[in-house]
Structure 1
């Protein structure tokens, strides 16, 4: 917000919350080089609203918005309410060219290939229901897909008579080559679409996306990548993946607020892809991916927040974020590997995970006690017998230690 807008808002009795004090500059990068732990602790303390007592190990379901994102959302809502700007404060009829161009540069595709959605689930539904398929055509998926990567195809099977087939993945996988071989070898003569997750939701395994998509394309098969966990967790350039379609959820790892998503459609498919929700301009092919955003009035504050999240990531340095969250995940893996009562579903090859590590507990484990004590200690976990641990940038090493201390306590395990 510039000074002119701030003054205009003040005339309506609205103050720009966060403009003076709530959002602080990032710590000096020199501190990161000198004392990384101190640097990231300061980032958590100054850039997030998280109280000190909260240990949040479930970024894989929903991430935490930092202060600059919260400010961007609230400032947009206040500015919209004051009608300071001479345009409708919404999206759903607008092309959002500037925002899409900025985001496209970050995720590595053309602006014309990128549309904004509300989440990866919505993007997967638009993708699945917009591809021309006929009865008998086969969609190949894996047995590790999120329900949002299964249900859209199941709906089409029920309505249009397409078939679905699952390929079983090894867990834990030995290496990327094994995963690629298993998936690609399952492609059959009736397979028209291969739909799989870039990072598997149940286990956090990072799939060899480019190798799979390249092999599928050589066989004339369309590829759909459910990338809900990819944006912000691992380095990503969509064009390098060589996929035909991609669905993303920046509210997990890219610091965005809930209610915003990404959809990529390779340019060659744009004109023949059917929209699912429509209003005027749905058939203006020259709009490219923007025509899939013609869905009626929506809250543009979430878009403002999403762009602020992307800029926050850039201000931290994506390479530093990826390195930090992976370092924390390796700490989780090491601690899990040291405990005989836990079984790891994540690969020993750390190139096959980013910031998600998954373990399984024995069947006789006292989960009621685990959930009760975790709640008492303000520790946010996700799972059941299979438990997936997220390591976002605001997670402290002490949070990981406390989680495993809790596991040990419930298991009655004492290290030698």
Structure 2
């Protein structure tokens, strides 16, 4: 094939891609749909809870991730989850198309694909597409609201010291610059009583409180917070609620409006497994007009959710890759995915908690945790534990020493195999063995 024909063939394939991830030509439909449908028919009538332990089914899902064969076992999916192969391929193809003529394919072609993605995200979120803005991560989404609210000197905001650092820093910056009052609660997780948590927020309220900032799933140890109860309590006092859903969207089976919050932000590159650097902001429709955009817009008081998307030039291929991530997620099913990941967390944690010298810092009850669990050993710091897991066993985790939380965060995903978690438990067993402290020091433990 000559160069001219080759180029025409490439553009023809690219044009087919413009049918989008939600067309019959989607990569997901081409690579997985038939096999997945057959497998779903094979197990029709079996509950999602039962399917959580069906290794035949999940081995099929694992094959969709290149990370399942990585030489380093990734158990830090709470940081950034890898994308399935189909998402990687979509981004690569959209990127190749963009580089044929960037300003044409990006602004005139790919930019038109944002609306179908918005609609499908809204469908998963259970909300109006006119309430969804697509951006780059939870920090950008939530900072848009944090900095976009009209607050006056002396107005109070209630948050937690276990919220995500970038959100806490944003509130601290507003306090320093504008004189708002930022109150922070400190919880001793795990807590297996909703009323205890709700009461802590209620007791912090004063006549000057305007906002409660709550994290749906605490990123440090995976505690699931009673968001709906907090929102209802706050609204009874005339207070708005910002919900940080970075670690819940694409993991837990819920609809954003059902939480009854006013604002919600998330990263799509965590448990939805969308391309790295994709996020979403949800703003209750009647509140869009009063939030100033984080970046400049010609009509900052517009009621159009798209005013939050004036980011300038950004990666259109990444945005379009979200579509294939949604296909992959929906092909599994939200509830089935949640149950599987919770099963994986309990699989290793229930074994690890029986090892002498091991402590689990997360509730194992389904209503209080899902993917993330914290673990620590009596004989070493979280940093040493993380270093040993990586250096000696090629297991990647996240060490945490922050406020009253000192542990290593472990967070599996649907591509994680039981054999991987057995390896983790075995590593913890070895590392928890009692040694002379001087020997440990020599070993760098």
TM-score (norm 2): 0.83
Alignment of 1:92-171 (within 5 A): 96-171=114-189
- Classify 1:164/1:65 alpha carbon distance in 2 versus 1 (closer, same or farther; 3 Å): same
Q: Which residue of 2 aligns with 1:254?
A: 272
Shift in alpha-carbon separation, 1:9–1:133, aligned structure 2, 3 A = farther
Instruction: Tell me the residue number matched to 1:330.
Output: 346
1:1-400, aligned counterparts within 5 Å?
8-10=8-10, 23-25=31-33, 26-27=35-36, 28-29=39-40, 36-51=54-69, 53-83=71-101, 88-89=106-107, 96-279=114-297, 281-283=298-300, 285-286=302-303, 288-362=304-378, 364=380, 368=384, 371-384=387-400, 385-400=406-421
| Contact map agreement 1:170 1:179 (CA 8 A) in 2 | no
Label 1:163 to 1:156 Cα distance change in 2 as closer, same or farther (>3 A). same
SS at match of 2:265: strand
Q: Distance in 1 between matches of 2:183 and 2:266?
A: 23
Which whole-Å deviations, capped at 9, do the CAs of 1:257-307 have from their partners, x for residues lacking one? 11110111111211111112114x443725x21111112121111111112
Q: 1:241 to 1:11 in 2, by over 3 A?
A: closer
Q: Secondary structure at the match of 2:80?
A: coil
Give secondary structure in 1 for the equivalent of 2:343.
helix
In structure 2, C-alpha distance between the alignment counterparts of 1:413 and 1:278, rounded to whole Å:
59
Aligned twin of 2:439: none
How far off its partner does 1:151 sit?
0.9
Structure 1 position 49, deviation (Å): 4.7
Q: 8 Å contact 1:332–1:357 — kept in the other structure? A: no
Give the match's secondary structure for 1:395. Answer: coil
Q: Distance in 1 between matches of 2:147 and 2:223?
A: 27
Shift of 1:335: 1.7
The alpha carbon displacement at 1:344 in A equals 2.3
1:172 touches 1:344 (CA, 8 Å); kept in 2?
Answer: no
Residue 23 to residue 208, structure 1, CA distance change in 2 (3 Å):
same
Which secondary structure state, in structure 1, belongs to the residue aligned with residue 77 of structure 2? coil
In 2, the alpha carbon distance for the partners of 1:388 and 1:30 equals 36
Pairwise CA RMSD of aligned residues?
3.2
The 1:19/1:223 distance shift into structure 2, 3 A limit, reads closer
Report the number of matched residues. 408
| Displacement after TM superposition at 1:205 (Å) | 0.4
Q: Kindly tell me: are residues 383 and 105 of structure 1, through their superposed partners in 2, closer, same or farther at Cα, counting changes over 3 Å?
A: same
Query: Cα–Cα, structure 1 residues 20 and 108, in superposed 2: closer, same or farther, change >3 Å?
Result: closer
Distance 1:63 1:366 in 2: 22
| CA deviations over 1:159-216 (Å, ceiling 9, x no partner) | 1110111112232202223222222332222211100100001110011111101110
Alpha-carbon contact 1:382-1:388 (below 8 Å) kept? yes
Aligned residues of 1:232 and 1:250 also touching (Cα < 8 A): yes
Relative to 1, partners in 2 of residues 1:70 and 1:98: Cα closer, same or farther, differing over 3 Å? Answer: same
After TM superposition, give the deviation of residue 52 of structure 1 in Å: 5.4
Alpha-carbon separation, structure 1, partners of 2:385 and 2:352: 19
CA contact (8 A) 1:204 1:354 kept: yes
Contact persistence 1:121–1:148 (CA under 8 A): yes
Tell me, in whole angstroms, the C-alpha distance in 2 between the residues paired with 1:250 and 1:53.
25
Q: In the TM superposition, what is the alpha-carbon distance from 1:367 to its structure 2 partner?
A: 5.1
In the alignment, structure 1 segments of 5+ residues that lack a partner are none
User: For the Cα contact (< 8 Å) 1:12–1:82, is it kept in 2?
Assistant: no
Q: In the alignment, what sits opposite 2:23?
A: none
Farther-moved stretch of structure 1 (61-70 vs 82-91): 82-91
Are residues 9 and 413 of structure 1, via their aligned partners in 2, closer, same or farther at CA, if it must alter by over 3 Å?
farther
Contact 1:370 1:407 (C-alpha < 8 Å) held by counterparts: no
Structure 2 unaligned residues grouped into runs of 5+: 18-25, 401-405, 436-445
